[in-house]
Amino acid sequence: MWHILLACYERIGWSMDKVRFKIPLSKVVDDFQFEKLYESTNFEDIEIESADVNRPGLLMIGFTDYFDSNRIQILGKVELTYLDQFGYEQRYKLLEEIFKTSVPAVIITRGMQVGPEMFELAEEYDKTVLRCEESTSELMSALISYLNVQIAPRITRHGVLVEVYGEGILIMGESGVGKSEAAIELLKRGHRLVADDAVEIKRVSNKTLVGSAPDIIRHFVELRGIGVIDVKEIFGMGAVKDTESIDLIIHLEPWVEGKQYDRLGMVDEYTNVMGINVSSMTVPVKTGRNIAVIIEVAAMNNRQKRMGYNAAVELNNRLLKRMEEETQY
Catalytic residue among 179, 192, 203, 219: 179
The answer to whether residue 179 is catalytic is yes
The answer to whether residue 158 is catalytic is yes
Q: Tens digits of per-residue pLDDT, 62-115?
A: 888 889 999 999 999 999 999 999 999 999 999 999 999 999 999 999 999 999
pLDDT of 14 strictly over 50: no
**pTM listed for this prediction:** 0.75
Catalytic residue among 3, 11, 207, 263: 263
Superfamily in which the 153-315 domain is placed by CATH: P-loop containing nucleotide triphosphate hydrolases (3.40.50.300)
CATH 3.40.50.300 spans which residues of the chain? 153-315
CATH 3.40.1390.20 spans which residues of the chain? 23-149
pLDDT of 257 strictly over 90: no
SS3 state at 225: coil
Query: Residue 184, class by beta-carbon neighbours within 10 Å (0-12 exposed, 13-18 middle, 19+ buried)?
Result: buried
Q: How confident is the model at residue 18 (pLDDT cuts 50, 70, 90)?
A: very low
Q: Tens digits of per-residue pLDDT, 208-256?
A: 999 999 988 999 998 888 889 999 999 999 999 999 999 999 999 998 8
Closest CA to 280 of 259, 290, 295: 295
Catalytic residue among 71, 91, 127, 197: 197
Catalytic residue among 158, 218, 232, 305: 158
Q: What is the C-alpha separation between 143 and 105, in angstroms, rounded?
A: 13
The answer to whether residue 263 is catalytic is yes
Question: Does the domain formed by 23-149 have CATH 1.10.730.10?
Answer: no
The per-residue pLDDT for 329 is 64
